[in-house]
Structure 1
Amino acid sequence: MTMPPPVLPGTDAVAASPRRPLRLPVAAALAVAAGAALLLALPPYDLWWLSPAGVALLAAAVHRRRLRAGFGLGLLAGLVLFVPLLDWTRIAAGWLPWVILSVFQALYLALAGLAGAWLSPLIDRWRVLWPLLAGLVWTTQEFLRGRAPFGGFPWGRLAFSQGDAPMLRLAAYGGAPLVTFAVAVAGGALVALAWRRFQGCGLPAAAGFAVTAATLIAAPAALPLTEPGGPVTTVAIVQGNVPRLGLDFNAQRRAVLDNHVNATKALAADVAAGRQRQPGVVVWPENSSDIDPLRNADAAGLIQSAADAIKAPILVGTLQRTDVPGDIYNVGILWRPGSGPDHPQQYAKRHPVPFAEYMPMRSVARLVSEKVDLVRNMLGGERPGVIDTGAGILGDVICFEVAYDGIVRDTVDGGAQLLTVQTNNATFNEAEARQQLAMVRLRAVEHGREALMVSTVGVSGFVDAQGTVHGSTGFNTAAVVVRDMSLEGPRTLATRSGLWPEAAIVFGTVVALAGAALLRRRRATIDRVIDDSDGVTVSEAR
C-alpha cells in the first residue's frame, strides 16, 4: 500500500499537495485574449473596461507556470497588444523598425509574465495578495518601460486607456502610476474571484474580491476634483493641415507654413468682423514652420505678418538649426506682434525620440536600415517648457513628451497655468493622434490644469481639468478652434507627491519578489524532504 507523503510541522497540506497551472493551450489562448483586451481598451477603440480583464487574463495564464513559460506567455500577450497598437510607426519608419519596436515593448510584458509566475507561491499561500501583486507587477513594468533604454517609450500604459472611466480621477491623487495600479489591482481581484472555480476559495473571500474589483472600477467617480477658477484667457489653436500626408511632409514645409499663416489671418478677419473673440494667445503645432524663422527672413516675415494681423503672440513650432551641420532643435518659440521672436520665451524639446529624431548607435543601426542616415541629429533641450505669453503661462511639451510623467510635471512645478501639447501627426495616422489626446486628458486631471493639443493635421482640441474634450477637430483637415481657459488651477496631490507614489510601488514589487524567493526556497527544501522522507526528522527538514 502506497503511503501519502508526510506533512511536516511548520508546513501545511497545501504546500505539500500538487498545484497545477492551466493547460498550456488554454493558457496561450488566455494570453492572446489578454493582449487583445488591452489593445481594445486603448484609443481608438476606447473599451476602457477591458483593461482590468486583460490584466486578469494574463495573470491566470501565467499562474503556477515555469518561469520560461510565464515569460513566453507574457511575450505572446505583448505582441498581440503592441504590434497593432504601434502600427502607425511603420508609416514613417517602415515595417522593420515597427516590428523591432513592437517586439521590444512586448518583452516588458514578458517580464511581467515571468514575475507573475515567480509570485505564484505567494498567491497560493495567501490568495488575498493576488490583487495587490498584480498592481505591483504592472506598475513596475510600466516604470521600467518608460525609462529604458534611451529614456524609454511608455506608450500603451493602462492609465492611458481610462479617459472615459471613473478611475481617471485617481490621476489627481497619484498620477498615471496610481491609475495603472488601480486598474491592475481590479484585474487581480477579477482573476482571484474567477480562480475560485478551479481552487477552493471561501465565499467571504470571493465576496471580498468582487467588492474590491467593483469598488476600484466604479467608486473613483465620487472622488472630488478641484476645478480651475480665477482669471480666464482666450486661446486659439490653429490646425493648418498639410498638402499631403506621409513621408514627404518635410518637402512641403513652405506650404505647411503658408497654411498656418493663412488660417491665422482668416481668424484675424473673423475677429475684426466680430464673428470670433480676440485671443490672448495663438498656438500653432509642432513643425508648423519647418523653415527656421531665425535664419530665414521670408519665414520670419510670414510669421510676423500673422502675429501682427491677429494682434496676439503666437507659439510657433519650428526646427532651429545650429552651426553644426545636421544638428537641430525642435522648439516652440513665442512670436510677438510688432516685436518678433521673444527669445527667452522658447522651449526646446527635452526628449527627442531615439531612432526617429536622433540615431543612437548609428553605425549599428545602419546594419538594420539603409535609411538611418536620413535621421538628423536632434539635440535635447535643458529646461522645462514654461513660457510666459503675457496672457497666461503655458506648460509646453512637444509630441511624444506628453507620455512622460516627469516632463509634464516639471512645467507645472515651474508655474505653468495651462498645459500645451504641440504635435505633428502628418507622418502617422488618426489612431496615433487619438492615443496622444488620451494622454492629454490624463495630464489635465493629474495636474488640475486645463490643457490643449494642437496638431498640424489633427486631432486637436481643448481638455478641461475633468478630462473632458472640447472642440475636437477632425483628422487631415484644416481647423481653427477658440476657447476661454481658466488660469488658476490647484496643485493636486499628484503634482505635490511627484515620484513618491511610483517609487513606493516599485519598492513594494521588490519586496514581493524577494518574499517569493524565500517561499520558493522553503518549498524546495520541503520537496527534497518529501522525496527522501524515509526516516526524516523535523530538525533535518529545517
Structure 2
Amino acid sequence: MADETGWPRRTPRRDEITEILPVVGDDDTGALTVAADDEGIDGQTDLEHDIGDPPDARTRGATEEASRDARTAPRATALLAGAVRMGLSRLGSVILAWLRTVLLSSLPRLGKATLRRSPRLAAALGAGALLRASFPSVNWWWAAVVAFALLSWVLTRPATTVAGGFGYGYLCGLSFYLSLLPWIGTLVGAVPLVALVALCAVFPGIFGLSAVVVRRLPGWPIWFALLWAVQEWLKCTVPFGGFPWGVVAQGQTDGPFLPLARLGGVPLLSTAIVLIGCSVTAIALEIVSWWRRGPRIASGSGAPADAGPPPAVVLPGLCICVVLLLSIIVWPQARRSGIGSGNDPSVTAAAVQGNVPRLGFDFNAQRLAVLRNHVRETLRLADDIRAGVAPQPQFVVWPEDATEIDPLLNSDAAQQITAAADAIRAPILVGALTDVPGTNAGKPAYRNTVIVWNPRTGAADRHDKQIVQPFGEYLPWRGFFRHLTALADMASNIVPGESTGVVRAAGIPIGVATCWEVVFDRALRESVRNGAQVLTVPANNANFNQTMSEQQLAFSKIRAVENDRYVIVASNTGISAVIAPDGRELARTQFFVPTYLDTQVRLKTTLTPAGRWGPAGQGLLVVSGAAALLVAVRHNRWFPRLNRRRFRSVDESDAPSAGSGDDKSSGAGEPEVLLGETGHQTAPEDDTPPEEGGRHSAGRHRGAT
C-alpha cells in the first residue's frame, strides 16, 4: 500500500511477498533490486517501485547508481593499470631470463664468430670514427674519404652476406652518430641520445645491405655512391620530416671539394666524396690482385697480359679524375664570388649576439633579461657608430628567440625594440615567439617569427618558420614520449607558418632560414628563387654547446656556396658569423660572449646550377641508385622465376602430361622451346655450373653471397 505521495509505508518482509517479480534490472517492469541499497532497512533488500511509483523516484535511483559507478571507475582504472604494469614486469622478467639463457649458451660460438669477423668489425667501427673526424670541430675533410674506403672494403668481402652488410653498416652508423651527437645527451639525457643514434644508424645499415646486393655489378664504386645518396635522401625525409644532421657534405666545408655544392648542392658533394673513397678501395683491391697473380703470368702459365679485358683500375681511376676535374672547373667561379669581384652592390649589415643568462632549456626563464641583453648590445653598437668606431648598417639581425615576449601584443617589449631601432637608425630583424590567434588558452600555440622592426613605425614584414623542429619546438606522440622522459612536457607547441622565406628591410630582399631550417636544402633555395639577395640565419643555440654551434655553422657555409650568397648568422650565444659565397668566414664571434658583428656584404642576384636544378639532380641520383639496386637483384636472380610454358602444337593435346616418364623420353634430342621474358621464343638457359662446362653470364656462382 502507498500513501498519497506514492512512497511505500514500509518495506515488506520476504514472507509477505505473494507475487513473483522478474529480476531484469531497474526498469518499468517492477524488478527486484539485485544489490542492497544504501537506504535499505537493516541491510534488507529493498523492493523496487512498481509502475505506479512517481518518476522522481526512478530518476533518483538512476542518479545514485551513476554516482556509484563514478566512484568505482577510478578504482577500476587503477586496478587495471596495476595489472598491466605487473604483466609487463613479468613479461620483461621472462624475456630477460630467456635472453640470459640464450646468451650464455651461445657465448662460445659468438666468441668464435666475432674473432673471425674482427677485422671487418674493427674496420666498420673505424670508418664511423673517421667519418666523424671530418666534421667540426676536428675538420679532417680527408678522413671521410678514408672512412668510405674502409667501409667499402668491408662490404665487398666475399664473406660479407646481405645481413652482414646491414650489420656492418649499422655498426659504422653507431660509431659515427654516437661521436657526432654527444651534445644531445648532455642536454636531454642518455635515453633520448641512444634512441636517436639507434634510429639514425639504421640508414647506414640500409646502405650496407644494398651495397652487398649491387657489389657484383660492374663499376660497383658508382653504385655504392648512388646508394649512399639514396640513404641520405631517405634520412632527410623520414621520420618526422627527416634529420639531415650528419650528411657527408657537412664535413667538407674546409676541403677542396666544397665548390661542388655550387653544381649540385649537398647531394652531389656527398656522393662525390663516397665515390672517391670507394674508387680508392677498388684500385687498391685490383693492385693487390695483380700483385698476387703476377708471378703466374710471368712464368708463362697464363695468357698474355694484353689478351684479357681492360684493367679494373680504369673505371675507378676515371671516377676520381671526373670529381677532381669538376672541382677544378667550379672553384674559380666560387672564388671570384668570395672575393667580391664584379659589379654587385655592397651594403653594411650587423649581427647582434646579446647572450642569455644561462645555457640549457631554462635559458628563457628570464625572458625580459634576454630581450634587454639584445637591446643593450644594439645600443652599444649605436654608440660605436656615433663614435666612428663602427660603420652605419643598413639593417641589423637579431637571433632567433631574441624576445620570448610577443612584441605584437606586449607594449613594453615593443617599446624596448623601438628604442633600439631608433638608436641604431636601421630596421632590425627581430626573432620573436608570437602567439597564434584563436588558440585555446589551456593549450597555447606559437609561431617562431622574424619581424622586420623599423625605426619609429615598428613592425613591418615578417617570416614565420616553416620547418619546425620535432622534439624541440613540438613533440610528436607526446603521450608516448612522456613515459620515456620527464622532459617531454617541456617541449613547446610551435606550429609552422606560411612564408616565402624573404622579408624586405631598407628596400633589400633578405632571405631568412631560422636555425633548424638551414639544415634543409629547400629552405634557402626557395628564398633565393623568391628574390633574396643576401641570406640570414637567426639561431638559438642556448640549448646546446659550442660543438653543436660549430656543426650548425657548417651548414651555413654550404648554403653560401650552394646559393652564391653572403650569409649572416646571428646566434644568441654564438657562434655568429658572416660567410662569403666561397664558404670563407669573414668574421665570427666567440661562444657565450655578448658582442656584435658589423661588416660589408654584397647583394647578388645570380642563380647557381644547384639553385636552378638542385631537386632534379637529387632526384636523378636517387632514381639511379634505386634502379641499380633493382638491376642487381635481377642480376643475382633473386626475383621469383617467371612462369615458363612450352609452345604446344595443335596436335599435342594427346601428349603425355608433364612429369610422366614418356614425356621425359619423347623430348630427347630436340631443344626445348621456352617463352622468354619478352614473349619471344628462346633457347633454354644453361644452368650448368662453370666448373662443369657451363657458363653464368648473369647468374652467381654456387656458394657466393
Aligned to 2:365: 251
How many Å separate the matches in 2 of 1:217 and 1:429?
36
Q: Secondary structure at the match of 1:380?
A: coil
Q: Does 1:61 align with 2:147?
A: no
How many Å separate the matches in 1 of 2:480 and 2:434?
27
Most deviating of 38-47 and 94-103: 94-103
Which one of the candidate residues 237, 241, 258 is aligned to 1:151?
Answer: 241
Contact 2:463 2:502 (8 Å CA) reproduced: yes
Which one of the candidate residues 213, 225, 237 is aligned to 1:135?
Answer: 225
Which one of the candidate residues 113, 130, 135 is aligned to 1:42?
Answer: 135
Q: Give the letter for the 2:135 counterpart.
A: L
Change (3 A) 1:535 1:422: closer
Q: Does 1:213 align with 2:308?
A: no
Which one of the candidate residues 414, 421, 444 is aligned to 1:326?
Answer: 444
Most deviating of 384-393 and 506-515: 384-393
Which one of the candidate residues 100, 120, 124 is aligned to 2:195?
Answer: 100
Aligned to 1:346: 462
How many Å separate the matches in 2 of 1:248 and 1:497?
42
Aligned to 2:215: 120
Which one of the candidate residues 371, 382, 387 is aligned to 2:487?
Answer: 371
Structure 1 gaps, min length 5: 1-21
Q: Deviations over 1:319-357 (max 9, x none)?
A: 112242321111111110010111xx1111111111111
Structure 2 gaps, min length 5: 1-114, 292-308, 642-683, 701-705
What's the offset of the Cα at 1:209?
3.1
Aligned to 1:25: 118
Change (3 A) 1:61 1:524: farther
Q: Which structure 2 residues correspond to residues 184-199 of structure 1 after superposition, within 5 A?
A: 184-197=274-287, 199=289
Which stretches of structure 1, 4 residues or more, deviate above 6 A after TM superposition? 522-528, 531-538
What's the offset of the Cα at 1:371?
2.5
Q: Secondary structure at the match of 2:486?
A: coil
Which one of the candidate residues 386, 394, 406 is aligned to 2:510?
Answer: 394
Q: Which structure 2 residues correspond to residues 214-293 of structure 1 after superposition, within 5 A?
A: 216=323, 220-223=327-330, 224-225=332-333, 227=337, 229-293=343-407
What's the offset of the Cα at 1:535?
11
How many Å separate the matches in 2 of 1:537 and 1:83?
47
Change (3 A) 1:375 1:537: closer
Contact 1:170 1:179 (8 Å CA) reproduced: yes
Aligned to 1:316: 430
Contact 2:173 2:205 (8 Å CA) reproduced: yes
TM-score, normalising length from structure 1?
0.89
Contact 1:286 1:317 (8 Å CA) reproduced: yes
Q: Give the letter for the 1:341 counterpart.
A: A
How many Å separate the matches in 2 of 1:138 and 1:445?
22
Q: Which structure 2 residues correspond to residues 77-96 of structure 1 after superposition, within 5 A?
A: 77-96=172-191
Q: Secondary structure at the match of 1:477?
A: coil
Most deviating of 150-159 and 514-523: 514-523
What's the offset of the Cα at 1:536?
8.9
Contact 1:36 1:80 (8 Å CA) reproduced: yes
Q: Secondary structure at the match of 1:498?
A: helix
Aligned to 1:5: none
Change (3 A) 1:489 1:23: farther
Q: Deviations over 1:77-120 (max 9, x none)?
A: 00111012111122332221111111111110111111111112
Contact 1:384 1:407 (8 Å CA) reproduced: no
What's the offset of the Cα at 1:281?
0.1
How many Å separate the matches in 1 of 2:638 and 2:544?
52
Change (3 A) 1:191 1:534: closer
TM-score, normalising length from structure 2?
0.69
Most deviating of 29-38 and 48-57: 48-57
What's the offset of the Cα at 1:256?
1.3
How many Å separate the matches in 1 of 2:277 and 2:192?
32
Q: Give the letter for the 2:153 counterpart.
A: A
What's the offset of the Cα at 1:534?
8.4
Q: Does 1:467 align with 2:583?
A: yes
Q: Give the letter for the 2:320 counterpart.
A: A
Q: Deviations over 1:109-137 (max 9, x none)?
A: 11111111111221xxx2xx122112101
Q: Does 1:337 align with 2:455?
A: yes
Contact 1:237 1:454 (8 Å CA) reproduced: yes
What's the offset of the Cα at 1:294?
1.3
Change (3 A) 1:29 1:218: farther
Aligned to 2:95: none
Q: Secondary structure at the match of 2:229?
A: helix
Larger radius of gyration: 2
Contact 1:78 1:105 (8 Å CA) reproduced: yes
Q: Secondary structure at the match of 2:182?
A: coil
How many Å separate the matches in 2 of 1:380 and 1:134?
36
Q: Deviations over 1:156-175 (max 9, x none)?
A: 11111111112110111111
What's the offset of the Cα at 1:427?
1.0
Q: Which structure 2 residues correspond to residues 414-429 of structure 1 after superposition, within 5 A?
A: 414-429=530-545
Change (3 A) 1:45 1:264: same
Q: Secondary structure at the match of 1:499?
A: helix
Q: Secondary structure at the match of 1:121?
A: coil
Q: Does 1:170 align with 2:260?
A: yes
Identity %: 37
What's the offset of the Cα at 1:213?
3.1
Q: Secondary structure at the match of 1:312?
A: coil
Contact 1:56 1:188 (8 Å CA) reproduced: yes
Contact 1:43 1:434 (8 Å CA) reproduced: yes
How many Å separate the matches in 2 of 1:337 and 1:537?
81
Aligned to 1:360: 476
What's the offset of the Cα at 1:215?
5.7
How many Å separate the matches in 2 of 1:500 and 1:529?
42
How many Å separate the matches in 1 of 2:290 and 2:568?
51
Contact 1:91 1:427 (8 Å CA) reproduced: no
Contact 1:426 1:456 (8 Å CA) reproduced: yes
Q: Does 1:404 align with 2:520?
A: yes
Q: Secondary structure at the match of 2:449?
A: strand
Pairs aligned (count): 512
